[in-house]
Amino acid sequence: MKIAAFFDLDKTILGTTSSLVFTKPLYDQGLIKRADVVRSAYRQFVFSAGSADHVQMEKMRLYLSALVTGWDVAQLKSIVQESLDDKVTPTVHAEAMRLISEHKARGHDIVIISASGSEIVQPIAKLLGADIAIGTELEIFNGKYTGAITFYAYGPNKAVAIKNLAAEHGYDLSKCFAYSDSVTDLPMLEAVGKPFAINPDSALREVATDRGWPVLTFQKPEAMRRPIIDDPEQRRNAAITVGVLAIFLTWYFKRRTKRKNAA
């Protein structure tokens, strides 16, 4: 049986919320207005205060649905991709990077699961070297979002997704790990045999204390200099580039030496 480590994204791997980091690029590209910037700031405050309960998350779901209606999918993906290095990497917890690296070294699959849209979660997961990414799925028609949410990766739905992945990939959930900061992810933590609370809100800290779950403290984000797991294709292309450059430089200096001798 295989083992996986399931990570929440916002306030667990990242020191902020994944959707908030793209607020300025989305505003600059005209996808959101000034009022939406204010709402995003409020959402960050709610998460920072540890008060993002089920009511707040339902309000956020409805807000997300209304906000993205009519957005061009390709444009959003482009904004996210172009903003990863500047906006995301400085928010990654150094401790989270080490945890992911340790799990990879032990042969565990890394699964990132977040309530943010999959178009945001997937590129971040790739940057982090994760094997699987699960995010909220938004309905698309003719290249644009309709506003309908086909899968909301939140609360009990995270546990459903984890159990489906276990059946698909053969994970032994009793030996799997899960990491989160919020009590709203209690179903996700309860789905595995090794749950961990990361910088938990007060409600999750109480649950973790009662059940004897480990509580980890991540101090501050640290900018990533490179992805944890390099893409094999990127390594191969880099090796080819270096090899070609070496051949060119060898030819160039030999040619230059011959010209000097001839002179």
**Active site residue ranges:** 8, 10
Quote the CA–CA distance of 139 and 106 in Å, as a whole number: 37
Nearest to 85 by CA among 223, 202, 193, 197: 223
As given in the structure block, the two tokens for residue 60 are 């956020």
Please report where in the chains the tokens 């900018």 appear, as a residue.
223
Give CA angle at 206 (201, 210), nearest 5°.
Answer: 150
Quote the CA–CA distance of 3 and 178 in Å, as a whole number: 11
- Alpha-helical regions (H) of the chain: 23-28, 34-48, 54-68, 73-83, 94-105, 118-128, 156-169, 186-190, 202-211, 232-262
Quote the CA–CA distance of 8 and 10 in Å, as a whole number: 6
Quote the CA–CA distance of 221 and 201 in Å, as a whole number: 18
Q: How far is CA 223 from CA 28, 102, 131, 202, 248, in A?
A: 23, 18, 21, 27, 35
